[in-house]
């Protein structure tokens, strides 16, 4: 991977003299998932606002594609088209009378022709699952729906980078997981995604790269399992260990587990370590069916469910959840689907995952990666795809 955004010795001082960033040097790689983690006041939001030119450094330089950012109107317009920003409070970003008009604001300002705006807005609404709400006032929507509108308003500009300030703030757990799943999907299709959060649980399991911040400085960067391996550094930054690591360390201390080279990243990893230590393996793993909903008729899904071949069903992605809702399919898993289905497979139960597009291959890779890591065989069955046509002139949401 190559650097798409960078900061070199960046400082930022607000008008009241408060130094929000102190000599920050950072490299963000193209196609990565980066989480800025730190307590309130660490400088996370200020740093994010540097990435799309909203704030200009007091000193130092911000780079985009290897070139220093310029702050004239034309340059900033180009930057903000390429680096889309979603604010913590969606109400700060939504101002038009209807959802459709709000999403259309960006491309309208860029002078896109009317038919292109209409087409792109339609694609963006479909992607975030809000087609039915296109004519509603944004302030009538729920918090999760507002967040989806804000994301759609950025996606319609076809950015290379998505920057989100506390994307799960004030959302319920299920909606939070759905938003993060959407970001996973966008990253899978090539978007660089940068978030800020003080939620160590979210950052630990989601990010490729952690940027730990405190007092306007970058304290440490690296893979989650390396950054979170140092409880003293976390304590100094007024953060706690992720629950999975806390349980793992406690079990190590009690002699219930032996140390491993790679610490568990999630509950699936932890359960495998516990089962291995207890010698409770030996049962035959269950199967996992992966159904591409873009080419599999709902009747085929119903046949599988009625046959008793699977005990659990989950849906990944907005389209899959919409079809499940339309077909009145009661989902057991609507977030964390792959991990939960792998857990059930290890317990000898079979599951079906409804999803679409590249998420089919993504889910299969994740499952096979777990199986290889754990030294077990999980049978993955991909349901046949019909030869559905694909729109040629489609917005580059992926």
Tokens standing for 103?
Answer: 């999403």
117-143 tens-digit pLDDT: 999 999 999 888 888 899 999 999 999
The pLDDT-based confidence of 390 (bands split at 50, 70, 90) is very low
Structure pTM? 0.86
pLDDT tens, position by position, 289-347: 999 988 888 888 888 888 888 999 999 888 888 888 888 888 999 888 999 999 999 88
- Mean pLDDT in the chain? 89
Report how far residue 194's alpha carbon sits from residue 179's, in angstroms, rounded to the nearest whole number: 14
In CATH, which of 3.90.79.10, 3.30.1330.60, 3.20.20.140, 3.40.50.300 is domain 3-98+160-236?
Answer: 3.40.50.300
- The model's confidence at residue 99, banded by pLDDT at 50, 70 and 90, is very high
- Characterize the bridge pairing of strands 67-68 and 59-64: antiparallel
Question: Quick one: residue 65, left, alpha or beta (phi over 0 = left, psi -120 to 50 = alpha)?
Answer: left
Q: Rounded distance, CA 311 to CA 204, Å? A: 30
The separation between the first and the last C-alpha atoms of the chain, rounded to the nearest angstrom, is 18
- Given a cut of 90, is residue 213 above it in pLDDT? yes
Cα separation, 199 vs 216, in Å, equals: 18
pLDDT-based confidence at 1, cuts 50/70/90? low
Q: Among 1, 68, 50, 6, which residue's Cα sits nearest to residue 30? A: 1
Size of the chain, expressed as the number of residues it contains: 398
pLDDT exceeds cutoff 80 at 286: yes
DSSP label of 16:
T
What region does 17 belong to: left with phi over 0, alpha with psi -120 to 50, or beta? left
**What distance separates the 2 farthest-apart alpha carbons in the chain?**
68
Band (282; pLDDT cuts 50, 70, 90): low
82 burial (CB, 10 Å; 0-12 / 13-18 / 19+) is: middle
Q: Is the pLDDT of residue 398 over 80?
A: no
Alpha helices in the chain (DSSP H): 44-51, 73-82, 99-109, 114-128, 143-155, 173-188, 200-206, 224-227, 231-236, 243-253, 267-278, 298-307, 318-326, 337-346, 358-374
- C-alpha–C-alpha distance, residues 53 and 56, integer Å: 6
| pLDDT tens figures, 51-91 | 999 999 999 999 999 999 999 999 999 999 999 999 998 88
In angstroms, the CA 201 to CA 216 distance is 22
Burial of 252 (0-12, 13-18, 19+ CB in 10 A): middle
Q: What is the reported pLDDT for 391?
A: 35
- In CATH terms, is domain 288-382 a member of 3.40.1010? yes
33 has pLDDT over 90: yes
Q: What pLDDT shows up at residue 274?
A: 87
- Beta strands 288-292 and 380-382, pairing class: parallel
- How many whole angstroms separate alpha carbon 125 and alpha carbon 134? 7
3-state secondary structure of 103: helix
Rounded to whole angstroms, the Cα distance separating 158 from 84 reads 9
What pLDDT, on the 0 to 100 scale, is given for residue 28?
A: 97
Query: Domain residue spans in the chain?
Result: 3-98+160-236, 249-278, 288-382
């Amino acid at each position: 991977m190559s650097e798409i955004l960078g900061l070199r010795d960046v400082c930022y001082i607000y008008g009241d003299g408060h130094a929000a960033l102190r000599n920050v040097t950072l490299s963000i790689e193209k196609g990565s998932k980066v989480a800025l983690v730190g307590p309130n006041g660490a400088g996370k939001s200020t740093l994010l606002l540097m990435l799309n030119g909203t704030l200009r450094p007091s000193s130092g330089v911000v780079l985009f594609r290897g070139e220093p950012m310029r702050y004239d109107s034309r340059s900033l317009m180009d930057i903000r088209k390429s680096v889309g920003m979603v604010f913590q409070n969606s109400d700060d970003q939504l101002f038009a009378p209807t959802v459709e008009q709000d999403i259309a604001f960006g491309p309208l300002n860029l002078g896109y022709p009317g038919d292109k705006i209409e087409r792109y807005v339609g694609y963006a609404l479909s992607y975030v699952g809000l087609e039915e709400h296109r004519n509603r006032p944004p302030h009538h929507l729920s918090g999760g729906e507002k967040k989806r509108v804000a994301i759609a308003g950025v996606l319609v500009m076809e950015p290379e980078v998505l920057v989100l300030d506390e994307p799960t703030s004030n959302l319920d757990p299920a909606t939070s997981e759905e938003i993060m799943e959407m970001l996973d999907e966008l990253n899978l299709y090539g978007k660089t995604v940068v978030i800020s959060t003080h939620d160590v649980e979210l950052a630990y399991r989601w990010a490729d790269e952690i940027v730990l911040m405190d007092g306007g400085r970058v304290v440490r960067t690296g893979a989650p399992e390396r950054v979170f391996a140092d409880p003293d550094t976390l304590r100094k930054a007024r953060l706690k260990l992720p629950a999975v690591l806390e349980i793992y360390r406690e079990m190590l201390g009690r002699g219930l587990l032996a140390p491993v080279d790679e610490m568990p990243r999630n509950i699936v990893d932890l359960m495998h370590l516990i089962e291995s230590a207890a010698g409770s393996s030996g049962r035959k793993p269950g199967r996992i069916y992966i159904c591409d909903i873009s080419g599999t008729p709902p009747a085929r899904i119903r046949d599988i469910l009625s046959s008793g071949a699977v005990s659990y069903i989950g849906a990944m992605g907005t389209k899959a959840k919409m079809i499940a809702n339309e077909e009145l399919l009661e989902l057991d898993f609507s977030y964390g689907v792959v991990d939960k289905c792998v857990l059930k497979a290890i317990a000898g139960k079979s599951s079906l995952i409804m999803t679409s597009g590249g998420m089919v291959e993504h889910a299969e890779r994740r499952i096979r990666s777990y199986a290889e890591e754990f030294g077990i065989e999980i049978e993955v069955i991909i349901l046949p795809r019909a030869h559905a046509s694909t729109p040629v002139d489609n917005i580059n949401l992926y």
